[in-house]
Amino acid sequence: MSPDRGQRRRAVVLLSGGLDSATTLALAIERGFETHALTVRYGQRHAIEVDRAETLARQLGAASQRTVTLDLSHLSGSALTDRATEVPKGRPEHRIGEGIPATYVPARNTLFLALALGWGEVLGAHDLFIGANALDYSGYPDCRPEFLRAFEQLAALATKAGVEGAGFRVHAPLVEWSKARIILEARRLRVDLGLTVSCYDPDARGRACGRCDSCLLRAKGFREAGLQDPGVRW
C-alpha cells in the first residue's frame, strides 16, 4: 500500500546491509514513503554489514539512518552470535530450509521489529518495513507471514498509537519472492549489489565464504537471474 496522494507517510525500515533489506528500503522509497532506516548491531559475527547498511542508506536516499546496539551475544547456540557454534557450510541445496538452522537467533525479528515499533511511535511512522523472506529461509519461524501479521496485532495492543486507533502496518514486500526476483528488482532500483553483504561468516574485509547457506542461496539467485554477482570476493 502506498501513502495517500499528496501526503508523504513516514516508515521505519529495518536495514541490515544485506541484499533483501537494501531492496526493501529501495522499494519503500519508490513507493513514496519518507524512510528512516534502522540498523541493529547485535553482536553478529558478520558485523561488517552494519557499515554497509550505513552506506546503503545514504546512497539510496533514506531520510535518516540510525544504528542501535542490542547485545544478543548471551543467547548462546546461534552460529551468528556464538563463535563456539560453527556456521553450517556446504549443505546440499535441498537441505537448506529444512528445520530451524543453527543460524537462527532466538527472537531476533521480534526484537528488531519492537525497536522499529518504538522508533515509529516517536517519529509518527505507522509503517514498518522488513526484508523477511519465507521462500528461501523457510526454516526461520520469524520470517513467516503469520508471524508478521501477529506482530501487527501486538503493535495495536501494546502502543499508544495502536490504542488510539492509528494502528501499524508491517510490510514484507519480498516475503514470497525468489532470490532471483529480488536480485532483478534490486538491479532495477539501482541498489549497489556489490555493497550488500549476505554471507554469515565473512572475513574482516567483508569477503564472503562462498559456502554458507546464505552464500549458496545468493549464488543460486544470481545464476537464475542470469547475472554476475558484483559482491563476490572469494
CB contact burial 1-34 (16+ within 10 A = b; e otherwise): eeeeeeeebbbbbbbbbbbbbbbbbbbbbebebb
In this predicted structure, what is the pLDDT of residue 1? 43
Integer Cα distance of 87 and 103 in angstroms:
7
Write out the three cell numbers for 182.
Answer: 529480488
Instruction: Give the Cβ contact number of residue 224 at 10 Å.
Output: 14
Q: For the chain, give the longest Cα–Cα distance.
A: 53
Ranges in the chain, pLDDT < 50:
1-5, 234
Q: Is 86 exposed, middle or buried (0-12, 13-18, 19+ CB in 10 A)?
A: exposed
In this predicted structure, what is the pLDDT of residue 41? 95
Mode of pairing for the β-strands spanning 34-41 and 64-69: parallel
Q: Could you give the domains of the chain?
A: 10-225 (3.40.50.620)
Residues 6+ apart with CB under 8 A from 205: 48, 233
In this predicted structure, what is the pLDDT of residue 4? 46
Write out the three cell numbers for 204.
Answer: 574482516
Residues recorded for the chain: 234
Write out the three cell numbers for 5.
Answer: 496522494
Q: Which residues pair with 38 in a beta bridge?
A: 14, 66
In this predicted structure, what is the pLDDT of residue 136? 64
Model confidence pLDDT, tens digit, residues 129-165: 999 998 765 578 899 999 999 999 999 999 999 999 9
